[in-house]
Amino acid sequence: MADDFYSGLYNPDVLSCLANLSNDEVFTPPEIANQMLDLLPQELFQDPSTKFLDPACKSGVFLREIAKRLIKGLEPQIPELQQRLDHIFQQQLYGIAITELTSLLARRGVYCSKYPNSIYSVTMFKDAEGNIRFKRIKHQWKDGRCVFCGASQGQYDRDVALETHAYELIHTTRPEEIFKMKFDVIIGNPPYQLSDGGGTGTSARPLYDKFVEQAKKLNPRYLTMIIPARWYSGGKGLDVFRETMLNDRRIRKIVDFENSDDVFHGVDIAGGICFFLWDRENVGLCEITNYYAGERVSSVRDLNEYDTFIRHEKAVEIVRKVQLQNRKYLSDLVSVRQPFGITSTYIPTNQGIPCWYTQKQGKLFANNKDVNDKNGLLNKWKLLIPKAPIAGQTDFSKPVGFFYDGNVRIAEMGTCCSESWLVACAFDTELEVIAFKSYLFTKIARFLLLQTVVSQNITKKNFCFVPDLGKYEGKYTDDMLREMWGISEEEWLFIDSKISTINGGENVE
């Protein structure tokens, strides 16, 4: 019987499978899985009719930890252990693996056997899949992109021996047809992003938002997922998702970690990580728990108070105080990306309009006919700031710098810049630009900017909390702004802890 069982199975090479794992397939530690399960009403684990789905199985840790709770919770109703195990594994726990390898890992972790119809399985299924399925899905190509996930056809339309990362849940318009049943709880840690073949090969588009939205379509009673915190301020492919999340009053809890290492040891995820609880039948304010500097701080508030999500309650209070006294913000003053239409791949010319390229290249030239001055910036004094001012910093629990003398430029009249820069301000005189620079260099201004930043890049939208003072003259200091906006000593200490000090032209961490 054993020979018949194994003879018809495809036995993949483990090293080949490992080589095809995405670097965004992060395995969830059991303690984090249990923190997420703690968000749920615990009576769910005492109900033999509750059905659970992990739509992005990797190690099977969620289903395994759920099983532990059910084994204990159902004992009064199903005293006989094997009967209880059979019921739990066959009637309550379901999973969709994200790769062939993780399907084997998940089955081994949940059923104690990668083949749940073998004698080694804790419960006997009729097939080798059990309730943890893996189906190789094809991308649906249109104009070189997958219509479901945006994957590049040139990268992922490949040999059947290679993983295509076409995940089943998000490659269908009818996710309810996968298992043809209703689930009470959907829980998981979905893949975070997928290379889209753009830029220099490092460009990627998010995927986790698609898992969240597809899970909502299944209309469970509860949904909890652990995802990157980058959605707080939107960005590439996330603006609609951010708006949806912030306006969904069924999101009742968010647990936020600024440092991803606090959740996934040794894994660096820019902007941190979070998990949330979505409760279908219960609308209201959201309880936000933030882990900061070794402390656990909780608050309850509306998620949609602002267009971006501010993770700290103390920061919310400061923003509110500043907004009460200001109506204009730098998001209306700072330039758009590519302020002069010069891309980062533009080849400099030997003569023409002086143009600031990258920080390393310095000032070269751009052809007059290639420079677009539709915003009237060319013949003004300008402060140029890098579009990636904190490149390399991903841990936002540490002080953030943004700007210092070494990474900004004062550009005189008649000069332009490439898309490596944003034009922070443009005035008729150099003195106005110097005054504006001193304002932007204050910790308070940079702190207000920080509230919308969860990655190394910034755009004009990120300045939506930094007031535009209108007229700039002299030198601005934090003491001046504290007095102007009534920033308390306690608030200042918090600001000071979040923003690094500019010292001698260098950013000091």
State the average pLDDT over residues 464-469: 98
The more confident residue out of 164 and 177 is: 177
Is residue 348 domain-shared with residue 291, that is, in the same domain?
A: no
pLDDT of residue 6: 28
* Dihedral of alpha carbons 398, 400, 405, 408, sign: positive
Tell whether 187 and 302 lie within a shared domain. yes
Number of domains in the chain: 2
| 319 inside domain | no
More confident call, 442 vs 270: 442
**Residue 16 pLDDT:** 42
Nearest to 61 by CA among 27, 15, 92, 24: 27
Q: Are residues 493 and 351 in the same domain?
A: yes
Quick check: is 479 in a domain? yes
Scan for tokens 């059979």, then name that residue.
Answer: 86
DSSP H helical segments within 92-190, as ranges? 100-111, 153-156
The residue range of the domain holding 213 is 2-311
- The mean pLDDT of 217-222, rounded to a whole number, is 97
Q: Are residues 377 and 450 in the same domain?
A: yes
Please tell me which residue, 37 or 8, carries the higher pLDDT value.
Answer: 37
In a domain, 317, yes or no: no
For residues 344 and 302, membership in a common domain is answered with no
In the prediction, which pLDDT does 3 show?
Answer: 39
pLDDT at 22 over 60: no
What is the structure's pLDDT at 341?
A: 96
Q: How far apart are the first and last CA of the chain?
A: 65
Q: Residues 23-51: what's their mean pLDDT?
A: 91
Considering 277, 311, 345, which residue would you say is the last residue of a domain?
311
For the chain, give the mean pLDDT: 90
Specify the pLDDT at position 267.
85
pLDDT of residue 342: 96
Q: Report pLDDT for 112.
A: 93
SS3 155: helix
pLDDT tens track for 72-111:
999 999 999 999 999 999 999 999 999 998 999 999 999 9
pLDDT of residue 444 exceeding 70, the answer is yes
Q: For residue 257, is it within any domain?
A: yes
CB 4 within 8 A of CB 36: no
Residue 20: pLDDT band by 50, 70, 90 thresholds?
Answer: very low
Percentage of the chain exceeding pLDDT 70:
92
The verdict on residue 321 lying in a domain is no
Q: Which residue has the higher pLDDT, 195 or 323?
A: 323
| pLDDT for residue 493 | 96
State the average pLDDT over residues 111-139: 94
pLDDT of 2 over the 80 cut: no
User: For 416-432, how does the pLDDT look when each residue is reduced to its tens digit (9 = 90+)?
Assistant: 999 999 999 999 999 99
Asked if residue 322 is part of any domain, the answer here is no
State how far the Cα of 94 lies from the Cα of 284, in Å rounded to an integer.
30
User: Is 167 found in the same domain as 109?
Assistant: yes
With a cut of 90, say whether residue 461 has pLDDT above it: yes
Both 296 and 346 in one domain: the answer is no
Task: Judge whether 192 lies within some domain.
Answer: yes
Out of 7-21, 233-247, 465-479, least confident range: 7-21
303 and 345 fall within a common domain:
no
208 and 339 part of one domain:
no
108 with 167, same domain: the answer is: yes
pLDDT (0 to 100) of residue 25: 65
Confidence of residue 27 (pLDDT cuts 50, 70, 90): confident
Q: What is the mean pLDDT of residues 153-173?
A: 88
pLDDT, greater one: 165 or 279: 279
Question: In this structure, are strands 273-279 and 222-228 parallel, antiparallel, or unpaired?
Answer: antiparallel
Is there a single domain that holds both residue 344 and residue 304? Answer: no
Looking at residue 391, what is its pLDDT? 82
Q: Which residues partner with 133 through β-bridges?
A: 96
415 pLDDT higher than 90: yes
Average pLDDT over residues 104-127: 94
Last residue of a domain, one of 261, 284, 311: 311
Q: What's the mean pLDDT in 301-312?
A: 94
The pairs formed by 67-74 with CB atoms below 8 angstroms and a separation of 24 or more are 67/93, 67/110, 69/37, 69/42, 69/45, 70/45, 72/45, 73/42, 73/45, 73/46, 74/45, 74/46, 74/48
325 in a structural domain = no
Burial, 349: exposed, middle or buried (Cβ in 10 Å; 0-12, 13-18, 19+)? middle
Task: Report the pLDDT averaged over residues 258-266.
Answer: 89
Domain boundary among 311, 343, 370: 311
Residues 343 and 272 in one domain: no
pTM for the full model? 0.88
Partnered with residue 425 across adjacent β-strands are 383
* Dist CA 16 CA 231 (whole Å): 33
Mind listing the pLDDT tens digit for each residue in 377-387?
Answer: 999 999 999 99
Predicted confidence at residue 236, as pLDDT, reads 76
Going by pLDDT thresholds of 50, 70 and 90, the confidence category of residue 393 is confident
Domain CATH code at residue 30:
3.40.50.150
